[in-house]
Amino acid sequence: MNADLRQEVMRRTQGAIFLNIAYIGVVNRLFDGLLTLGKASAVELAAHTGMDAAYVNRWCDSAYAFELLDEVETDRFAMTELGQMFLPDAPGSLMPFAVNAVLGAHMAERAAGLMPSGERPGEKVLAERKTVLPWFGPMLEGMFGSFLSNEIIPNVPAYQEVDARQGLAVDLGCGNGWYLRRLGQRLPNLRGIGLDGFDENINQASRLAAKEGIADRIGFRVGDIHHFAIDEAADLIAMNRALHHVWDQKENVFRIIKQHLKPEGVAIIWEPNWPNNRQLLREPGRRGMAFQNLSEHVQGNHFLQPAEIAAQFEQVGMQPEIYLFGEDREAVVVGRNKA
Ligand SMILES: C[S@@+](CC[C@H](N)C(=O)[O-])C[C@H]1O[C@@H](n2cnc3c(N)ncnc32)[C@H](O)[C@@H]1O
């Protein structure tokens, strides 16, 4: 057996364990607790966070082993610089990596079990892990929030046009609403409606909009994209990483988009750019996407190429424009009514 390869795999294994330990610290607010307390014994940390002391004790040992914590006094711990980087609210937090690792493990286990039958249970698989679902939105916001603000909004002119009109934006499949909330913060006159199929997402989105002081303009509701209807025509209809979830009924989705847009309105669809060349999947920045497409398969979905999205805009008489970002890994396809 190749000893170097074996060493390399063992190194990677440690990386996976490290993220699993960090995940527990994130979702049970142990890092946040240590931020407040500064230093704490396992018993103190458990009391502060409302967790079981025996579990926290074992977690402290493992977080210490992986250098997320230091022992600063006998049996009392403080976060290392590395540990602090998993604080969910820290700028550039590493939290998304921890959540993604555990979600990935769940999806891998489901894919392995489903492969013999070919069954594809759909969206509900995401909600099977009780601790993961509330972190799904924050994970995506952590991964893409600054990217939207710094790369996409400044470089896609359609946003400035909608801002100038002070119009109504609709976000179909809004998750925890981070995209619409960011737009609402940036465009002070924008009104918005976000729609998602999961109650948990809508509760989180509404709570966060209230906390951010924009709930009077930006609202969220539970519903199915396929039955979406509003009385007022929209200036912007957005879908972020949501179109591939409903691609099997794309004709209906594009009909709904067209029908609910003002004549001068725009649709902005943001999706991962699935490469048409398999070799590109070997690039470090695209490997995760290859695995994610397997977990999408479990949910009944698959990733899309921007040309496929553009073709659907054409089908309903809309003019598509394709923008690529992030070394072409991200595609934004804008659709407008033809003059
Ligand atoms: C990958 S998530 C993206 C969420 C959000 N747009 C973001 O960028 O963070 C896809 C979202 O689409 C929602 N979704 C999928 N199918 C849906 C449907 N038929 N009706 C409403 N929401 C749906 C899911 O609940 C999920 O929140």
The amino acid at 253: V
According to DSSP, the β-strands at 318-325 and 218-222 are unpaired
> Do 171 and 296 have their domain in common?
yes
> Do 66 and 148 have their domain in common?
no
> Do 205 and 275 have their domain in common?
yes
**Alpha helices (runs of H) in 85-197, residue ranges in sequence order:** 95-114, 133-147, 153-155, 157-165, 178-186
Task: Take atom 14 of ligand 1 and give the residue whose Cα is closest.
Answer: 173
- How far is the C-alpha of 324 from the C-alpha of 40, rounded, in Å? 47
> Do 58 and 140 have their domain in common?
no
> From the CA of 175, how far away is ligand 1's center (Å)?
5
> Do 203 and 309 have their domain in common?
yes
Q: Which of 204, 222, 77, 88 is nearest to 143 (CA)?
A: 88
The CATH number of whichever domain residue 246 belongs to comes to 3.40.50.150
Give the pLDDT confidence of 228-279 residue by residue, as tens digits.
999 999 999 999 999 999 999 999 999 999 999 999 999 999 999 999 999 9
Task: Take atom 25 of ligand 1 and give the residue whose Cα is closest.
Answer: 197
Containing structural domain, residue 308: 132-337
> From the CA of 195, how far away is ligand 1's center (Å)?
8
Total tally of structural domains belonging to the chain: 2
Write out the H or E segment, with its range, that includes residue 78: strand 76-79
Task: Look at residue 55 and tell me if it is in a domain.
Answer: yes
> Do 36 and 154 have their domain in common?
no
The CATH number of whichever domain residue 33 belongs to comes to 1.10.10.10
> From the CA of 196, how far away is ligand 1's center (Å)?
6
DSSP state letter for 233: P
Write out the H or E segment, with its range, that includes residue 177: none
Task: Look at residue 113 and tell me if it is in a domain.
Answer: no
| 95, 97, 211, 245, 252 from 142: Cα distances, Å | 8, 9, 18, 21, 31
> From the CA of 56, how far away is ligand 1's center (Å)?
34
Task: Look at residue 119 and tell me if it is in a domain.
Answer: no
Q: Of 65, 92, 119, which residue is a domain's last?
A: 92
Task: Take atom 3 of ligand 1 and give the residue whose Cα is closest.
Answer: 241
Task: Look at residue 111 and tell me if it is in a domain.
Answer: no
Task: Look at residue 9 and tell me if it is in a domain.
Answer: yes
pLDDT tens by residue, the chain, 339 residues: 899 999 999 999 999 999 999 999 999 999 999 999 999 999 999 999 999 999 999 999 999 999 999 999 999 999 999 999 999 999 999 999 999 999 999 999 999 999 999 999 998 998 999 999 999 999 999 999 999 999 999 999 999 888 888 899 999 999 999 999 999 998 888 999 999 999 999 999 999 999 999 999 999 999 999 999 999 999 999 999 999 999 999 999 999 999 999 999 999 999 999 999 999 999 999 999 999 999 999 999 999 999 999 999 999 999 999 999 999 999 999 999 987
Token pair, residue 88, equals: 């969910």
Query: What pTM does this model have?
Result: 0.95
Residue 100 and residue 132 in contact, taking contact as beta carbons nearer than 8 Å: no
Pocket of ligand 1 (CB under 6 A): 123, 137, 140, 173-175, 178-179, 195-198, 201, 224-226, 240-242, 245-246
> First vs last Cα of the chain: how many Å apart?
66
> Do 80 and 156 have their domain in common?
no
Token pair, residue 111, equals: 């894919």
> Residue 291 contacts by C-beta under 8 Å, 6 or more apart in sequence?
104, 108
Task: Look at residue 110 and tell me if it is in a domain.
Answer: no
Q: Which of 206, 209, 201, 203 is nearest to 183 (CA)?
A: 209
> Do 284 and 147 have their domain in common?
yes
Q: Of 31, 64, 92, which residue is a domain's last?
A: 92
Task: Look at residue 127 and tell me if it is in a domain.
Answer: no
> From the CA of 209, how far away is ligand 1's center (Å)?
18
Residue 260 and residue 234 in contact, taking contact as beta carbons nearer than 8 Å: yes
Task: Look at residue 124 and tell me if it is in a domain.
Answer: no
The per-residue b/e assignment along 135-170, b for 16 or more CB within 10 angstroms, e otherwise, is bbbbbbbbebbeebeebbbeebebbebbbeeebbbb
Q: Of 92, 117, 140, which residue is a domain's last?
A: 92
> Do 143 and 72 have their domain in common?
no
Task: Take atom 8 of ligand 1 and give the residue whose Cα is closest.
Answer: 240
> Do 148 and 247 have their domain in common?
yes
Task: Take atom 10 of ligand 1 and give the residue whose Cα is closest.
Answer: 242
> Do 164 and 262 have their domain in common?
yes
> Do 201 and 301 have their domain in common?
yes
